[in-house]
Structure 1
């Protein structure tokens, strides 16, 4: 890999290549607090397995159930918002909005397929 002197001389606040900086990635389906709470419960189950294996498995199952329920709710809400954005649009006049909705469907579906 060659050292790029032009890039090295640009101020850190200046976007590289003239393009705007993008977000680190797609927004999570669950809020950080929800993910942390479920992860904490799962971690507790893992840590207590040696002493109380059945209780640990029940706690892990409960954490799994909560995670799937919250994901299902988040996906249903995402679908509702997406559909509301394009459902009543005139296809000829609003092709940019429809294209954006299609990209969002593609992104979320691809994320689901790679779980």
Structure 2
């Protein structure tokens, strides 16, 4: 996972500036300063929620939408538990190792990305 920030730098800088301005304005207008800090926090929470929801959407699409595999003849493979022609497959029927390895690798990468995102969130 290349992006390690939960806020883009320019957005983080804007929120930080708003926060500093509100704190600096406390002496002249305590209620207004607290209201502004409340709005800054509200905006930060909303942005964080949007960022995490988008990250989750990307993570889910990485493992939930796998391209349809085809048979060497160019057709679509039978449904799970079915042999070609619609008959039930026998227990222990071979599974294409390259397809299984690819699926497992996609799932391994998805698990790693989920873990990294959750760890970043827990370090907040």
**Greater shift after overlay, 86-95 or 58-67?**
86-95
Whichever structure has more helix as a proportion of its residues is 1
The TM-score normalised by the length of structure 2 is 0.67
Q: Please give the residue correspondences for 1:1-115 in structure 2 after superposition, counting only pairs within 5 Å.
A: 26-89=3-66, 92=100, 93-115=102-124
Q: CA RMSD in A?
A: 1.8
User: Larger relative CO (CA 8 A, sep 6+): 1 or 2?
Assistant: 2
Runs of 4+ in 1 over 4 A off after TM superposition: none
* Alignment size in residue pairs: 91
Larger radius of gyration, structure 1 or 2?
2
User: Structure 2: where are the runs of 5+ without partners?
Assistant: 68-98
Provide TM-score, normalisation by structure 1: 0.72
